[in-house]
Amino acid sequence: MSRPVLDVRDLTKTYGDGPTAVHALRGVTLTVPRGEYLAIMGSSGSGKSTLMNILGALDVPTTGSYRLDGVDVSRLVDRQLALARNRLIGFVFQAFNLIPRTTALANVELPLAYAGIKAKVRRRRALDALDLVGLADRARHEPNQLSGGQQQRVAVARALVTEPALLLADEPTGNLDTRSTEDILDVFDQLSADGRTIVLITHEKEVGDRAGRLIRLVDGQVVTDVRQQAHR
């Protein structure tokens, strides 16, 4: 079996110290093989956002090791972290986080630009990614000219465009209505079917049910970890 995309061992994260310290994660161990569609569920305060930030190399764990596609992320310095985020991870945020007053195409091109890819190649790949999420005809629109669902699909295209090892989605449907949620989840299903590794964080049961594996997090610890038949 090839090496896992995510290999997390005994991860802890503590904010503050002394008697007021908050233990957001209390020893999370997790292995995600390539091509898996994993949902992490938990109520607010369960530590799922902290886990997501560490998995996304946006934050560093207090103790424990974290290997992303074989790279020990917890040992990287700022510059290398930036590189890891660019090459290995594609983010989808709850709040879309598109750059305002910038076209969908330019938004999708951005990670490729930071990867140092030439403008022509960039454009083609960005258009392909937009096509994949069904927004090729909206390439020239700015975020405020797009609906929430469309914005999130642009964000998905932006996450995909670098062909990352891991697609990381933090409550991607949290700000969307039922129909847009359906659109985004369909895109994820399709990506999963194409063999992408997806880690999705959510608190909505119907979103978690779509994934092939479901982890429940309570008080910074994994309480259940089940493989399931995805519902459609």
Partner 1 sequence: MSVGEVVRFALRGLSANKLRSALTMLGILIGVAAVILLVAVGNGSAQAVASRIEALGTNTVTVLGTGRGATLTLPIASALSDPVLAPDVASVSPVVSASATLTYDGTDHDVNSFVGTTPGWFTASNTPVGQGAAFTADDEAQGRRVVVIGQTVAEELFPGVDPIDQQVTVGGALFTVIGVLAAKSSTGFQDSNDTAVAPLTAVRQVLTGYGALNSILVEAASPGRVSAVQSQVASILDQRLGVTAGDTAPYRIQNASQLLETQTETADTFTALLGAVAAISLLVGGIGITNIMLVTVTERTREIGIRKALGAPRRTVLTQFLIEATLLSVIGGALGVLAALIGSRFEIVGVRPVIVPSSVALALGVSIAIGLFFGGLPAARAARLRPIDALRYE
Binding site for partner 1 (CB under 8 A): 53, 56, 58-59, 78-79, 82-87, 91, 93, 97-102, 106, 110-111, 113-116, 158, 162
CB of 76 to partner 1, least distance (A): 12
Closer residue to partner 1 (CB): 57 or 214: 57
Distance, CA of 78 to CA of 69 (rounded, Å): 18
Alpha-carbon Rg of the chain, whole angstroms? 17
Six token digits for residue 14: 């503590």
**Residue appearing with tokens 């479901």:** 214
Closer residue to partner 1 (CB): 50 or 202: 50
CB of 205 to partner 1, least distance (A): 26
CB of 182 to partner 1, least distance (A): 26
Burial label for 137, CB within 10 Å (0-12, 13-18, 19+), is exposed
**142 phi and psi, to 5 degrees?**
-90, 160
CB of 133 to partner 1, least distance (A): 17
- Number of separate helices (H) and strands (E) present in the chain: 7, 10
Closer residue to partner 1 (CB): 47 or 111: 111
CA proximity to 88, closest of 165, 36, 159: 165
Closer residue to partner 1 (CB): 89 or 214: 89
